Structure 1
């Protein structure tokens, strides 16, 4: 019951023993589990999690008191500001009107204050700060808060149970690792299915339940079959090739490594084989495979899953992580308890569900595949960035196609690699088209330090620089056909009619859609099929198209059409197993052109309808001699829309290098072409010099902005979403839910017929995994500017199921999409073979919004 105090203050006249303070509410809003029991549960989970941390990191890097810190995370709930949030609790204890809610209600900040008082030394304040951050972001400091004596009494009980707090400062890598562990322990310790609110267990029983909770999530020491040969790891490979042998020779301990080799030479298998060696030796705890786009992540996931099943007898499914991958999960394995009326605590509970029931789980699972953005969010000021650092610690992190990133994302990548090494992870970087300068940066070498110019090459730093060269497995001569006139759809269709499977890559969605329509106009009835791939389809339709065409144009000849044209954006540029007979492409930087060529004659075939591998490049309408006479504006106009996607300077340099070139030999010409494209020439025209100056300024700005984004101690945490801070100047995107019909059921509920024909009921305030999945499968991404007028009045039922800004588009019979309010004209339309189309006569976009191309 309330205990009196000698004070005239209404707020301080009464305090409540911590045993009577609630931590979570029940479903009906009544006080539930008390603060002490919840803190004990979380401390026990943290103990079990620490048992799974590799011994070398636990013994060399982690101080005492981690479990105690985790237990102390919610002592701040013993405070009048927090307790007064539950009206039933106030009534139960006769404190209505006696304990007011004027005191700070931010219990995480109060916890930070109490722990800071216990630690005492100013140099230890960071330990208290990470407790205050357990809801995902750093807090400021308090100067006073009532009921401190009760919080101190609870803290002493917890410290008696879990041991003394840290007594020494730690570096950022350790601090954020521990912060991540505390947040995850809190989520798992809040799972009511494992820790019922009514349970009153002793400490030993709580520890037993904590162990069960971890095992139910697949958290256990990884079991690895050994020894396995290369063929046992990859049954389709009889033996390791020369590059794969070099990788196994170099990658023998944790470090940072770069594997460089031509497209399609088996770099993925080389990295996975090296990862298996480290897992077998107990030098790694799992694998995360990061790629640049959703489609590349999906394809690699299909290859990694059987590999994991071969190496581990009790492997969990390989989790996939990107903006849409959570749709593959079956059910949410964690159900955090109700946080009561505390808005931030409720948001934290949602975050726990989000991490365990969504794509983010791949970061925490032993084996995960996803976009590199998900790893980069671990080093920028995004909510719960430290959970990602915790999840990647000790793993083999494989980063593919790193050449695709600009200086902003590249700078973040350098920071990530450094932090991963501090977390005892191994980083393996794969690329076919890396410059020597970029390789030095990724390996952490000094500028100008000599490195081998050979290719293919495996290099690494594990305390010293190690380099191993090898001979390429073979060579391929590719005919280069540069077109300064517009490439005619009829010419492309003629090749398809002769039986060629043509891949035509455009640099923007808009141009890809235009090309598809022109090709359809040139296609005679019964002629070769024409298809389109890009990122502006709803998820269910994109999944259908990708699966169909990756299979048709893959290794197996059984479904290969007798001629076709697949039009695509950059989603088919790299890390996908597409084998084209002829490649048609817009001008792009040299490294991107080389990557696109990796889809050309990718597999050995006994017969092809064309006599040689050939690439047609759509060049700007110029000849080389004209470039030196053009002004900057004239050159930009000539480069067209592609100059809004890629650096105009690099495009111009690529144009000069590739124009008139009749052929190239792969892989012999890869390194020389790359270095020539990015080398500083002795002299250039005025326009090129000006564009180079702008590029250098942009790079400096991007690098500075990226480093600012990593200042996690000093800037507010932004949304935990891809592209929010991981891509520079990326076109801001929004979502459109595509439906056929919406029928009101009552004031809070609607019945929907979705674009894919499914029917669901959605209610305001009633989140359902099944409903959320159904809606997300019918969502397409578009430039935010195309729907900004439709985002203001998002209905409550939609907000309850979809947490990102989402407009509604109702499909009419003519393909037009209208808004939910009185059939508002959106200026958008939809076609199942073209995706969402933006009608430029109805929708005005800024230049930077016109050409979204990121996946």
Structure 2
């Protein structure tokens, strides 16, 4: 097992592939699977590896992409088998044998780990150790593979628990693992290494007290109690100092953005929630045209999200020019944090834990450019722009915060980042005024995430509550995972389908498939020559508190069309919500029901727009109660 820690853009992926090649050359592995935190990062990685992965193999080998919506890569989608005939039996409550067989054959996610080379979301690997159908096939697919997990720090308590089970299972079968991170806390590193060692039937090794950064940590079962660490040098082009300014006034942020845009700079404002991103977008919608103002979040259909990613890379990617970048503003959520090789002249971020801010700062002047914003031909030349500066918007600073310090100022963000003590510690570091990377990385990460850090008395109860929740989530991971020491013995647990296997906790969400009325016909929102792909491109993920069900059409003919359209979905509508939209004036509007905390269904009108995404109109109580 190898753990590679280095800053964003330092080449961790390339180093991991070199290590993989050495393991394969030594005869201890036959292939690899790279697991990433999001579909966007998986898609980007697939594109990077597709050009050179074959050189790792002696002979032919296939590279397979696996994520919840693999259809969004056209070259890959072409290999998906055609679905069988739809039986149009609306009374049928169970799928036929032919439908089940076709779904299994067409679902590459179940078989992706069998390919010599695979790239996908980490969820596809985590399902190998969860109590779900075809779990053993996934585990078999990892046999004699190098399991590479990128951005491993992005795992929450539940995902880390499941990942520890996966590392045990993979190690017990003789597999190897490479974990990559720019911001890995010591306690998480210790737990993951212990899990892998347990899978090798060894006692957890003791990590040496090496606070160096960048760092490679390696462990081998043949030398069970010896952990090797290697200090790594830092390239000049990824070693830098970023100024950080803590701001508590929204008006000051808006004024700063206007000055930057007037000065010809491109700007990105990363917000913690979709609602806050839409609010920020509204502040500039009347000042900037659609060409200069972009909104980027997760509540777009896959088709529109891919188009937006392509547009952002065109304007702010590695090879963008001054003319493409000048005076443009992107308002984004966390989707811009890890998924895109883009860089901006100036960035603002809502207050988030220090590891997230380090990731976001990695998108600030990521590529060296001249004073106008054109890419420098020689990466060794100094950047011609002003020193990079990250503004962080948060609550007014205080040395003695109350329990509601963060919630009062940022009510929506307080639900995203629960540990407000870590946010206060992050804000305290920010007030130092600058970030030296990679020199400060270890100090900042351990200063926020260490287990015995001192917190103000007002925030300690909040921290204690979060620690209890994380402990509960880790217990959920143990309960949901297979028990290798027991074997396949049914003890009353539920074994889920792929769509229901819980690789992540958090609030329940639904796959909402958008469609539009064309007369009395229902068509997928996105257009594509193959209907299966059109439905995949029309999908957006939404919390069930917002959309859990759809109000069926009252017109009998439209009701029949809606029921028949559900049968054409990849899951035949069993685990997704088919939301019809109708053109009303300039807007496409549909009606769906969200599930309130009381369990009551609440009806809302929803609007979809390719510029803004899916958003609700004013709330009203469902007439069905």
User: What is the TM-score with the length of structure 2 in the denominator?
Assistant: 0.83
Is residue 2:534 matched to residue 1:786? no
- For 2:596, the equivalent position in structure 1 comes to none
Is residue 2:78 matched to residue 1:330? yes
SS at match of 2:465: helix
Distance 1:449 1:615 in 2: 34
Deviation at 1:477, TM superposition (A): 0.7
Distance 2:210 2:337 in 1: 28
- For 1:369, the equivalent position in structure 2 comes to 119
Distance 2:206 2:107 in 1: 47
Of 353, 362, 369 in structure 2, the residue corresponding to residue 589 of structure 1 is 353
SS at match of 1:809: strand
Q: Which runs of 5+ in 2 are unaligned?
A: 198-203, 374-384, 484-488, 553-558, 594-601
> What are the residue-to-residue correspondences of 1:626-641 with 2, within 5 Å?
626-627=400-401, 630=402, 632-633=403-404, 635-641=406-412
Deviation at 1:594, TM superposition (A): 0.6
- For 2:301, the equivalent position in structure 1 comes to 538
Is residue 2:581 matched to residue 1:817? no
Q: 1:590 to 1:783 in 2, by over 3 A?
A: same
Distance 2:404 2:549 in 1: 33
Of 479, 494, 502 in structure 2, the residue corresponding to residue 716 of structure 1 is 494
Distance 1:356 1:818 in 2: 31
CA displacement, residues 725-757 of structure 1 (integer Å, 9 cap, x when unaligned): 1112244223132324253xxxxxxx4444345
Is residue 2:146 matched to residue 1:388? no
Deviation at 1:785, TM superposition (A): 2.9
Distance 2:110 2:134 in 1: 11
- For 2:392, the equivalent position in structure 1 comes to 617
Q: 1:775 to 1:459 in 2, by over 3 A?
A: same
CA displacement, residues 580-619 of structure 1 (integer Å, 9 cap, x when unaligned): 2111111111111111111112112233564111101011
Deviation at 1:357, TM superposition (A): 4.3
The answer to whether the 8 Å contact 1:589/1:650 transfers is no
- For 1:467, the equivalent position in structure 2 comes to 229
Distance 2:230 2:154 in 1: 24
Q: Which runs of 5+ in 1 are unaligned?
A: 1-255, 744-750, 761-769, 845-855
Deviation at 1:460, TM superposition (A): 1.6
Is residue 2:208 matched to residue 1:450? yes
Deviation at 1:574, TM superposition (A): 1.5
The answer to whether the 8 Å contact 1:501/1:564 transfers is yes
- For 1:832, the equivalent position in structure 2 comes to 610
Deviation at 1:626, TM superposition (A): 4.3
Distance 2:82 2:53 in 1: 24
CA displacement, residues 477-527 of structure 1 (integer Å, 9 cap, x when unaligned): 10101111115434213212322221211111111122122222232x69x
- For 2:525, the equivalent position in structure 1 comes to 755
Q: Size of the alignment, in residue pairs?
A: 562
- For 2:270, the equivalent position in structure 1 comes to 505
Higher relative contact order (CA 8 A, sep 6+): 2
CA displacement, residues 278-299 of structure 1 (integer Å, 9 cap, x when unaligned): 2333322222111101111111
The answer to whether the 8 Å contact 1:493/1:522 transfers is no
CA displacement, residues 227-254 of structure 1 (integer Å, 9 cap, x when unaligned): xxxxxxxxxxxxxxxxxxxxxxxxxxxx
The answer to whether the 8 Å contact 1:459/1:467 transfers is yes
Q: 1:272 to 1:485 in 2, by over 3 A?
A: same
The answer to whether the 8 Å contact 1:619/1:655 transfers is no
The answer to whether the 8 Å contact 1:437/1:447 transfers is no
Which segment drifts farther, 536-545 or 808-817? 808-817
Is residue 2:459 matched to residue 1:685? no
Distance 2:6 2:398 in 1: 31
Q: 1:842 to 1:492 in 2, by over 3 A?
A: farther
Is residue 2:311 matched to residue 1:548? yes
Distance 1:757 1:789 in 2: 24
Let me know the Cα RMSD of the aligned residues: 3.1
- For 1:841, the equivalent position in structure 2 comes to 619
Distance 1:350 1:316 in 2: 29
Deviation at 1:646, TM superposition (A): 1.3
Q: 1:409 to 1:825 in 2, by over 3 A?
A: closer
The answer to whether the 8 Å contact 2:247/2:253 transfers is no
Distance 2:95 2:566 in 1: 22
Distance 2:228 2:426 in 1: 36
> What are the residue-to-residue correspondences of 1:129-168 with 2, within 5 Å?
none
> What are the residue-to-residue correspondences of 1:423-442 with 2, within 5 Å?
423-442=173-192
User: What is the TM-score with the length of structure 1 in the denominator?
Assistant: 0.61
- For 1:739, the equivalent position in structure 2 comes to 516
Q: 1:843 to 1:786 in 2, by over 3 A?
A: farther
Q: 1:820 to 1:740 in 2, by over 3 A?
A: farther
> What are the residue-to-residue correspondences of 1:233-244 with 2, within 5 Å?
none
Q: 1:521 to 1:626 in 2, by over 3 A?
A: farther
Distance 1:700 1:376 in 2: 19
Bigger helix share: 1
The answer to whether the 8 Å contact 1:809/1:820 transfers is no
- For 2:532, the equivalent position in structure 1 comes to 772
CA displacement, residues 749-800 of structure 1 (integer Å, 9 cap, x when unaligned): xx44443456x8xxxxxxxxx2222222222222223333417786133134
The answer to whether the 8 Å contact 2:20/2:146 transfers is yes
Distance 1:357 1:719 in 2: 12
Deviation at 1:316, TM superposition (A): 4.9
Distance 1:334 1:741 in 2: 25
The answer to whether the 8 Å contact 2:352/2:423 transfers is no
Distance 1:603 1:611 in 2: 13
- For 2:468, the equivalent position in structure 1 comes to 697
> What are the residue-to-residue correspondences of 1:844-855 with 2, within 5 Å?
none
The answer to whether the 8 Å contact 1:305/1:317 transfers is no
